[in-house]
Amino acid sequence: MRAVPAMMLLLLAGAPVAALADEALPLARAPSEMTGAEIDAHNQGLAFADPDYIKCRKIEEVGSLVKKIRVCNTNAQWRKIADKGNQDARDSMETLARGWSNSREPADQVVPTNNRPP
């Protein structure tokens, strides 16, 4: 009788370990809010190029000559930020190449080319 509850406990205790091996748990709070020690503990055992590895950057605060803001994200988040910035730049260049606008004049305001004054 006691063997069944003991086996259930072993099975239940092993379930979270198996889940950890398959997928990473979400962070308890944003990486920028974590202390350096918490980031070091999170990065322990992860490769530098791992998508879950947290990297911090110091970004200059606008309007200040000295103050910098620490911004931390996982490699995957930094990649999404870079991809978004690159896509925005591509979209801007395509807009410029089209001539700033792709709008059309209303049909009733279009002047036929043969009736234009010289």
3-class DSSP assignment, residue 52: coil
pTM reported for the whole predicted model: 0.58
Residue 109 lies in a domain: no
pLDDT (tens digit per residue) in 50-89 = 999 999 999 999 999 999 999 999 999 999 999 999 999 9
Residue 93 lies in a domain: yes
Any idea what DSSP says for residue 53? -
Domain of residue 55 covers 30-97
- pLDDT over 90 (residue 94): no
Residue 91 lies in a domain: yes
Closest CA to 24 of 55, 56, 51: 51
Q: What are phi and psi of 49, to 5 degrees?
A: -95, 0
Mean pLDDT, the chain, integer: 76
- pLDDT over 60 (residue 104): yes
E strand or H helix that includes residue 70: strand 68-74
Residue 1 lies in a domain: no
Number of domains in the chain: 1
Residue 40 lies in a domain: yes
